[in-house]
Chain A
Amino acid sequence: MQENKTPAKVQAQPAKKKRWWSKDDTELTILALPTTVWYILFCYLPMFGIILAFKDYKITPGANFFTSLFNSEWVAFENFKYFFGLRDFPQILRNTLLYNLVFIVLDIVLPVALAILISNIYSKRKSKTYQTLMFMPHFMSWVVVSYFVYAFLVTDKGLLNAIIRFFGGEAVPWYSTPGAWPVILIIMHVWKSIGYKMVVYLASITGIDNSLYEAAVLDGATKFQQARYITIPSLRPIIIMMFILAVGGIFSSDFGLFYQVSRGAQQPLTPMVSTLDVKVYQMLTSGTVSLGQTTAASLFQAVVGCITILSANAIVRKFDRSSALI
């Protein structure tokens, strides 16, 4: 049976190329089906749900979602006008962009610098231990981290104020001092991500051909020159990739960082800690803002995010084709 089949298959091969659809195609399509359904339900239906942004969505009692949707009135760009007209809209946009700009710079400079430094430590065992300890925050959820921060910052009992008092200073009510929050949030962002980013860069550093360094030493290059002319240029592709991804995400923010660490982004912290994601979430759960208006806000975010990632990619592609994402 088997032996009979083999030559038949081999002969069938040239014919198969001509066939538009083979048995193989059917089988692969069936294998891809569950995930395709998942993509439709959880990625493409929400994209379809975007039309909510152009409607005054009202739930028709007893009807299903689609009926309600089609019964709702078109309002063109009214929902967007509401969102752009919000008094805190410029502030939210400014927060989102400025925080992300700072994060983009720090997320490249600090981890690369630390990765270069740690690769020079004599003892590999110690280096591994530091890496493991620094990796830990990456695995903590923002809820847990917000408890860490609380223990550190809370006014009457917190560690930071205890230290300030020990040096004769006055306790600061951190949770009602908006001015301190950019610094706090930036520190927390760096704290949570630095170990993991450092390890990613370190993995690339260990992959660099050692003979490059040997040749450099023979030429009398200092450690600093080696980093400048060998390590950093070798890391360029991965740095560029991380950069594109970060620039593409410039209109989105890590919701957990801004919402949890500030304990709900409440007043008076709101002006300093609320970003687009926080605003969309607050609109969604407020009960007073309509779903259409909320969807308009998140659609704005999705569209500008899409534009930035594609243009960042296009720019990189122009200078260095192989480093581009697409």
Chain B
Amino acid sequence: MRKNKVKPVSGDTLSRLNRIKPATNILFNLMFLIVALACFLPIIFIFMISITDNNIIRTEGYKIFVTARTFSGDAYSYLWSQRQTILHALWVSVYVTVIGTVLGVLLTSLMGYVLSRTEHRLNNFLTILVFIPMVFGGGMSASYVINSQLLHLSDTMWILILPLAVSSFNVTIARTFFRTTIPDGIIESAKIDGASQWTVFFQIILPISKPVLATIGLFLAFGYWNDWFQAQLYISDSRLHSLQAMLNAMQNNLEYLTKNPSASASITDLKRNMPQESVRMAIAFVVAVPIACVYPFFQKYFISGLTVGAVKG
């Protein structure tokens, strides 16, 4: 290896020279394999619980490997029998995610575009308007009072959608994108041709900004899909429960039971209706799987968004 250095070496040879030792490579691979599995296996584990017989769970605990003896599809046939509730929750999840993402992308890119036009009279004012919430906020409590008592959004679909639609972080990403990748010439020439800003934004800017719109859209879509907090705070009507909120409410009911073991009539009722262990895990699995299947395809947009966000403008 030392001898090679005497001759001028190409970059390719160099990078081969600069590799770690094969043994180290195997060690690193092994280490990352363990970490990666630790990140991924829990989802398999709850799937295994969901297909375990409830009697076995009660007597022998959770099983990592399900055999023919311990297998039972009861949880999923129960879910199927409850499909009305579950499909409704799925509908709420999808509805909120779709409407919220579209609305959020629109509001974010509108503001991002306006902020990227530095010649705009109100540019400084709007920049400050967007910046302040990054460092200061009214807090959970004041927001709660405003949303529920002034805007009267409790127990409506809008409380699940509106508060999450815009974030200053996303607006900054959009603004940085518009400012750095869209040449001023395009906008100038469109304006010379008599286009209004409205036309410029919808006919020119949006079509050529698909990467950043996709990134922001994905941030929002995953945020909406995974949200349970809004429902926990504002929603008492179970018809407005998304999948996450349903899963959360189920757990809250269970805690309520364990805290109040005294068996009044309504509690015995609640107890009887309480889904069994395997069913709860089955629902958790059903909630987790769509995301686990989908995110690998969108991963690169996330990374690009995070690195764009790191560029300040």
Given A65-B149, A135-B299, A147-B281, verify A191-B39 contact (CB < 8 Å): yes
Say which residue of B121, B142, B233 sits within 8 Å of A46 (CB atoms).
Answer: B142
Residue contact A266 to B146, C-beta cutoff 8 Å? no
Interface assignment of A73: CB less than 8 Å from any CB of chain B? no
Q: Give the complex CA separation of A10 and B191 in angstroms.
A: 11
> How does the 8 Å CB contact mask read for A37-61 relative to B, with 1 for contact and 0 for none?
0110111011111101000010100
Residue contact A136 to B40, C-beta cutoff 8 Å? yes
Interface assignment of B227: CB less than 8 Å from any CB of chain A? yes
Q: A residues within 8 A CB of B45?
A: 148, 151-152, 159
Given A41-B151, A46-B137, verify A217-B18 contact (CB < 8 Å): yes
Give the one of B32, B138, B252, B306 with max A CB within 10 A. B138
Q: Give the complex CA separation of A255 and B135 in angstroms.
A: 18
Q: B residues within 8 A CB of A142?
A: 228
Residue contact A147 to B280, C-beta cutoff 8 Å? yes
Given A46-B143, A52-B145, A144-B284, verify A121-B25 contact (CB < 8 Å): yes
Q: Give the complex CA separation of A199 and B36 in angstroms.
A: 13
Q: Give the complex CA separation of A142 and B107 in angstroms.
A: 27
Q: Which residue of A lies closest to B201 (CB)?
A: A31
Q: Which residue of A lies closest to B60 (CB)?
A: A157
Residue contact B146 to A49, C-beta cutoff 8 Å? yes
CB distance from B56 to the nearest CB of A (A): 10
Q: Which residue of B lies closest to A149 (CB)?
A: B42
Say which residue of A34, A226, A260 sits within 8 Å of B107 (CB atoms).
Answer: A34
CB distance from A255 to the nearest CB of B (A): 7
Count residues of B near A (Cβ-Cβ below 8 Å): 106
Q: Which residue of B lies closest to A135 (CB)?
A: B299
Interface assignment of A238: CB less than 8 Å from any CB of chain B? yes
Interface assignment of B263: CB less than 8 Å from any CB of chain A? no
Interface assignment of B194: CB less than 8 Å from any CB of chain A? yes
Residue contact B120 to A25, C-beta cutoff 8 Å? yes
Interface assignment of A229: CB less than 8 Å from any CB of chain B? no
Interface assignment of A81: CB less than 8 Å from any CB of chain B? no
CB distance from A36 to the nearest CB of B (A): 7
Q: Give the complex CA separation of A210 and B10 in angstroms.
A: 13
Residue contact A126 to B29, C-beta cutoff 8 Å? yes
Instruction: Offer 30 A-B interface pairs, CB within 8 angstroms, sorted by A.
Output: A5-B194, A24-B191, A28-B120, A31-B198, A35-B108, A35-B166, A39-B130, A42-B147, A46-B137, A46-B139, A46-B143, A47-B137, A48-B146, A121-B28, A130-B32, A134-B35, A141-B227, A141-B244, A143-B248, A147-B284, A148-B284, A159-B45, A200-B303, A200-B310, A223-B20, A256-B229, A260-B248, A294-B141, A299-B139, A305-B136
Chain A positions within 8 Å of B, measured between CB atoms, are 2, 5-6, 9-10, 20-22, 24-25, 27-32, 34-36, 38-39, 41-43, 45-50, 52, 57, 59, 64-66, 68, 114, 117-118, 120-123, 126-127, 129-137, 139-144, 146-148, 151-152, 156-159, 161-162, 191, 194-196, 199-200, 203-204, 210, 213-214, 217-218, 223, 226, 238, 241, 248, 255-256, 260, 263-264, 266, 277, 280-281, 283-285, 291, 294-295, 297-299, 301-303, 305-306, 309-310, 325
Q: A29-B121, A200-B307 are in contact. List 20 more A-B contacts (CB 8 A).
A: A24-B191, A28-B120, A35-B107, A42-B166, A45-B138, A45-B151, A117-B31, A120-B19, A120-B20, A130-B33, A130-B36, A134-B32, A136-B39, A136-B40, A148-B284, A210-B11, A210-B15, A260-B248, A263-B255, A280-B140
